[in-house]
Structure 1
Amino acid sequence: MAVTKRAQKHLFYISQNYSYAILRPIQEELLKLGLEVKWFLEGEEVNPSYLKSTEPRLKSVKEVKEWRPDIVFVPGNYVPSFIPGIKVALFHGFNSGKIRKGRIGHFDIRGCFDLYCTQGPDTTLKFKELANKYKYFEVKETGWSTLDPLFEFDNSPSNNNKPTILFCSTFTPAISCAEQIFESMRSITKNNNFKWIFQFHPKMDPGTIKKYKSLQSDNVKFIETDDVIPILKEADAMLCDTSSIISMFLLQRKPVVTFKNQGEWNHLININNSHDIVDSLKYALSRPNDLMSKIDAYCNKIHPYTDGKSSIRVINAANEIFNKAKKTKKKKPLNFMRNIKSRLKLNYWGL
């Protein structure tokens, strides 16, 4: 009988600030096990100041190669093949239904990973179909690590005199509502019915961000953060468009109003006219039974895990792959052009 060994070295490969919150619950569990964790930051869109003094960083590919990680966790779409170790895809959000070139982008396979850790049945089935097709990666349903802290929540309405509404918008111009409803939001936020939190995708147009920051008042705050969990907990309802953060919010069993959402969902209150925002939010805050039951059914499909132990499941799934003598039936594709671009970006030309 084969002896199971524990992978010792774990690299967190990140390129966006939201990755910190995805990986820190995993880091906490790895450190409890007495295992090593180091971070590698790719590109200029991730802010190194978000790293804590206790989180060691490898600053070059050369340092990564010399350290030789056993497992690489990636909350993104791509990791170069010249980075050593088992590559584990963790996703940077839920399947929001965004269509790219006629496909749902969440299921794009880029030839980088040995393991996809899926969030729930809704995506597991499709990724297992893709695993059978491509035969060079495996799929394990684990739940999503970033949500472990979310499940220490109280989803009852807040005791504030005024309900708190979280307004989020995606950066994709074709489906972002931020510009479309700005004039309405300027008027709505002057009304004393609600408190508002604005939080946009980090890639949002800086001009749009500046406009919304100008609306800040005693009633309105604009938050830029690497961890959205606290503001998800703070809000009673959400206003959004087509973004994966909707699913994170719904998992608290709290309602969402969307503006021109791309999908056809019965668990959302979708509107097409900005004049309907206030009335729709009031309806959402009443938590009608029919809507709440549909939200519950949706949550059970996308992420049935409410035990706060997805990080442990991710670690165990990755370790299973690490221990396999024969990883997969086929080798991953060479990804020649992607790797050339990565070498240029990272200024690395070694083996």
Structure 2
Amino acid sequence: MADHLLFATERYGLPILQPLADALHARGERVHALLAGAAAGLALRGPVQPVDARGAAALRPRAVFSASNEVPTFVTGAKVQLFHGFNVEKRADGRGHFRVRGLFDLYCTQGPATTAPFQELSRRLGHFAVVQTGWPKLDPLFRDDGGAAAALRAPAAGRPVVMFASTFTERLSAAPHLLQAIAAQVAHGGRYWLLTLHPKCPPDLFDRYRALAGPNAAFVEPEQLVTAQRAADVLLADTTSVVSEFVVQHKPVVTFRNRAPKPHMLDFDDPAQLPRMLESAFAPSAALGAAIAAYADAIHPWRDGRSSERVIEAAGTLLAGGLGTLARKPLAARWRALQIRRALGYWGI
């Protein structure tokens, strides 16, 4: 039995770490969580022991699994990057999904679209390994959820279910622009709505969307995001990574002013078009279905609900030397490591 540390700095990191915590427990391992930043004060389910920075350092864990762009380098053990979302092209690669900060030993990639670029970076830089494992967050999409999705869908009473999700990035967010159009759809009542927003969206926007809850809609908190994706038939969104998560189920998505629209999306730019776009999503063409399947296979081909187990096995292979010898981390990473210490309030040796 060994100690393992889970790390997150945002609320949305918890649904990524929870399936991994469950998989570690199933193997009889000890699991601890260092939840900092916006995740501070939250907790994972089950016998997960919370620790602060000093406690994490004292643990000397076998591995640190991070659902953040960073990781506490002052903690021993393999540093494993899990990612906090798919690459949805919000930013240039140098600042976005493929930015390498020199902090991690292992990148557990979600699918071929991410694996190939990181493998190329690994060959060039040499200080980290790459294993395609799938994403722990999506494990519950493909496992028995004890009826949670059915319960969330039950108030629909047989009606089709639409889920709405939006990014917090102001220039990309659909939430302010589609509020009235969505409110009209909710009032009509022909479909049932599951509404959610990114935790970083403005509080007043949360209030306005929560106010739509009633017999035709429910507001879903971030911890219920995966359950809502299982429950819904169609997703309405923008450039949020929820689009990719939803498509993995081979379900249609409607996007509002997506930054990089693709063939698997039904993209539009005028709120008045929403009713027509939803009609198209609920009657998808064969071409759209094929595009959805192709994209899903590229970003996350695993549909067995066992990505967490593959992450654990990949970390074990790394620690056993099965992924080769890693080069030394770049000098620039030392400055980032100091910034992480400062953010976590840890200056021990």
Question: For residue 326 of structure 2, what is the amino acid of its counterpart?
Answer: T
The correspondence for 1:134, drawn from 105, 125, 128, is 125
Query: Matches of 1:322 and 1:195 in 2, distance apart?
Result: 48
Greater CA deviation, 317-326 or 127-136?
A: 317-326
**Residue 89 of structure 1: aligned partner:** 81
Residues 26-41 of structure 1 aligned to structure 2 (within 5 Å): 26-41=20-35
Q: What's the offset of the Cα at 1:8?
A: 2.0
Matched, 1:257 2:233: no
Q: What's the offset of the Cα at 1:184?
A: 2.2
The correspondence for 1:152, drawn from 136, 143, 146, is 143
TM-score by length of 2: 0.91
Q: What's the offset of the Cα at 1:340?
A: 3.0
**Residue 3 of structure 1: aligned partner:** none
Matched, 1:310 2:327: no
Question: For residue 128 of structure 1, what is the amino acid of its counterpart?
Answer: Q
Q: Against the structure 1 CA distance between its residues 37 and 50, is the aligned structure 2 distance closer, same or farther, given a 3 Å change threshold?
A: closer
Secondary structure of residue in 2 paired with 1:136: coil
5+ residue gaps, structure 2: none
Query: Matches of 1:165 and 1:72 in 2, distance apart?
Result: 37
Q: Against the structure 1 CA distance between its residues 52 and 324, is the aligned structure 2 distance closer, same or farther, given a 3 Å change threshold?
A: same
Secondary structure of residue in 2 paired with 1:294: helix
**Residue 4 of structure 2: aligned partner:** 10
Q: What's the offset of the Cα at 1:114?
A: 0.2
**Residue 170 of structure 2: aligned partner:** 173
**How large is the RMSD of aligned CA atoms in angstroms?**
2.2
Secondary structure of residue in 2 paired with 1:63: helix
Residues 92-241 of structure 1 aligned to structure 2 (within 5 Å): 92-100=84-92, 103=94, 105-152=96-143, 160-241=157-238
Q: What's the offset of the Cα at 1:17?
A: 2.1
Matched, 1:71 2:68: no
Please list the CA deviations of residues 9-37 of structure 1 after superposition, one character each: whole Å capped at 9, or x if unmatched.
Answer: 21001112222221222222222222221
Q: Against the structure 1 CA distance between its residues 321 and 52, is the aligned structure 2 distance closer, same or farther, given a 3 Å change threshold?
A: same
Query: Matches of 1:190 and 1:292 in 2, distance apart?
Result: 30
**Residue 51 of structure 1: aligned partner:** 44
Query: Matches of 2:348 and 2:73 in 1, distance apart?
Result: 12
Question: For residue 115 of structure 2, what is the amino acid of its counterpart?
Answer: T
Contact 1:321/1:327 (<8 A) preserved:
no
Query: Matches of 2:196 and 2:53 in 1, distance apart?
Result: 33
Q: What's the offset of the Cα at 1:64?
A: 1.4
Contact 2:69/2:83 (<8 A) preserved:
yes
Contact 2:80/2:105 (<8 A) preserved:
yes
Aligned length in residues: 341
Question: For residue 130 of structure 1, what is the amino acid of its counterpart?
Answer: L
Q: Against the structure 1 CA distance between its residues 18 and 250, is the aligned structure 2 distance closer, same or farther, given a 3 Å change threshold?
A: same
Contact 1:153/1:252 (<8 A) preserved:
no
Q: Name the structure with the higher helix share.
A: 2
Aligned-pair identity in percent equals 35
Query: Matches of 2:242 and 2:331 in 1, distance apart?
Result: 32
Question: For residue 22 of structure 1, what is the amino acid of its counterpart?
Answer: I
Query: Matches of 2:143 and 2:284 in 1, distance apart?
Result: 21
Q: Against the structure 1 CA distance between its residues 104 and 193, is the aligned structure 2 distance closer, same or farther, given a 3 Å change threshold?
A: farther
Contact 2:21/2:48 (<8 A) preserved:
no
Q: What's the offset of the Cα at 1:72?
A: 0.2
Secondary structure of residue in 2 paired with 1:149: helix
Question: For residue 280 of structure 2, what is the amino acid of its counterpart?
Answer: Y
Please list the CA deviations of residues 265-292 of structure 1 after superposition, one character each: whole Å capped at 9, or x if unmatched.
Answer: 0010000111111111111111322211
